């Protein structure tokens, strides 16, 4: 009876295999690169921002989102509107309504101040405090104004209408002078109350506001480089 010894693997091949196995185990796993998150645009406002009387998908923030998308601007628009909110109400909630991941805040307050006859100096002080709070948190701003008609009194209208340009200059913020420009007074674009835009009116506002928001986002991105 004969005995045949088992064949041992070639020593060099064996050592080479061990070396390759060790390198494979030590090699770091390559994580897939995730696309960057789009910048967040928070719209801080009142009933126009909240979309009173229209579906959420037809409200001004959604229309702004759609307009930015048509322009090829990647951004996520969030609505932070509360019906009936004055500039004082916006100031009281700015820190909780504008989350830390916000790159740009569209501040659209003052319409209810006007309707309630709040002194323009009070509105100005509240808006200034909102803008200062956002600046302190390094959040960019687009300021949206409200146009006061002379039926509120020529002196009151003049003082109120001066609030927004003055604050825009003070904070070097882009200004959209009147949220209802090209919309207010139109039966085709306003709801029956004559105060709030309908879906078509909200689209006009979103379309007109989008270029200003896009430019502000570009400025923020350029400054961050």
Question: Catalytic amino acids?
Answer: 47, 193, 196
Question: 52 exposed, middle or buried (CB, 10 Å; 0-12, 13-18, 19+)?
Answer: middle
CB-based contact 160:129 (threshold 8 Å) = no
CA distances from 210 to 7, 51, 64, 173, 204 (A): 77, 17, 6, 15, 10
Kindly state the tokens that stand for 21. 């196995």
User: What is the β-pairing status of strands 76-81 and 102-108?
Assistant: unpaired
């Amino acid at each position: 009876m004969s005995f045949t010894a088992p064949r041992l693997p070639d020593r060099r091949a064996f050592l080479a295999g061990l070396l390759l196995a060790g390198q494979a185990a030590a090699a770091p796993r390559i994580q897939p690169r995730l696309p960057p998150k789009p910048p967040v645009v928070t719209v801080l406002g009142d009933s126009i921002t909240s979309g009173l009387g229209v579906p959420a998908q037809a409200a001004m923030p959604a229309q702004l989102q759609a307009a930015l998308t048509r322009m090829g601007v990647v951004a996520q628009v969030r609505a932070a509107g509360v019906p009936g909110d004055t500039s004082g109400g916006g100031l009281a909630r700015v820190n909780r309504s504008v989350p830390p991941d916000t790159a740009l805040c569209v501040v659209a307050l003052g319409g209810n101040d006007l309707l309630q006859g709040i002194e323009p100096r009070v509105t100005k002080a509240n808006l200034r405090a909102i803008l200062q709070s956002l600046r302190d948190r390094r959040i960019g701003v687009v300021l949206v104004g409200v146009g006061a008609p002379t039926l509120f009194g020529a002196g009151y209208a003049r003082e109120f209408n001066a609030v927004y340009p003055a604050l825009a200059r003070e904070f070097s913020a882009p200004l959209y002078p009147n949220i209802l420009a090209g919309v207010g007074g139109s039966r085709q674009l306003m709801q029956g109350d004559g105060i709030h835009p309908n879906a078509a009116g909200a689209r006009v506002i979103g379309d007109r506001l989008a270029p200003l928001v896009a430019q502000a986002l570009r400025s923020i991105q350029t400054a961050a480089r």
